[in-house]
Amino acid sequence: MHRIASSLKELVNVKREHGATMEASQTDLNLLVQGATEAIEAFKASTDKLKTVLASNTGCYGSGPRKVKNVQLRHWRPINANETTSCPEGYFAVGRRCFHIPKDGMKTWIEAQESCKEYGGFLAEPQDINIFRSRIGDDSTHYGFWLGGSDRDSEDIWKWEHHSIMIDQDDSWYPGEPNNAGGAEDCLFLVKDRELPLDDRPCDHLYYYVCERT
């Protein structure tokens, strides 16, 4: 806008100073007009670009909310089977994380979650099911255990309850699972002696469970 104003002001001054002699200065006048026209076009282009930017950022500059794709993380840092940590007595380590098998009997999935909170943790959410299964086999003779995953919020969308991220264990489900048998299997169960150990079970069934330390 400053360039436009300057060009027009100069044009007016030339007219005042030269009056009738402007016919003789047609070339200079044409140059001034050309400069003003170019400045106007540049300003218009800048305005159009600004409109485009504002339109693409509705919610920051506009009146409506900007829609953001709902993205959930699927991966933790890959676990190193040789990497261990020091755990409290009664816990076992898998990588840098500590797990505990309570000795207070079988519980429903919800009860197991609450019990793990009382132990200062949450229902187990192992990074690598295969490493976890082999490790838990050394510490228990139980058939299987509740883990901290479910699809209670949205059918077939399996998510870890504590970390609120997708369960990325597609190669660990037993063949045909999860199948939501009877329309009521929404909680994650691990069958210890299966090579592909994951299964979906009704959340109100009673099983042993594994807690993970916070």
Return phi, psi of residue 72, to 5°. -120, 135
Topology annotation, domain 92-213:
Mannose-Binding Protein A; Chain A (3.10.100)
At 83 the pLDDT is 56
Q: Which of 78, 107, 63 is nearest to 204 (CA)?
A: 107
Could you give the residue ranges of the DSSP H alpha helices within 21-176?
A: 26-56, 109-118, 129-136
The reply to whether the predicted model has a pTM over 0.85 is no
Q: Where along the chain do its domains lie? A: 2-56, 92-213
Q: Could you report the per-residue pLDDT of 42-83, keeping only the tens digit for each? A: 666 655 654 543 444 433 333 333 332 232 333 344 445 455
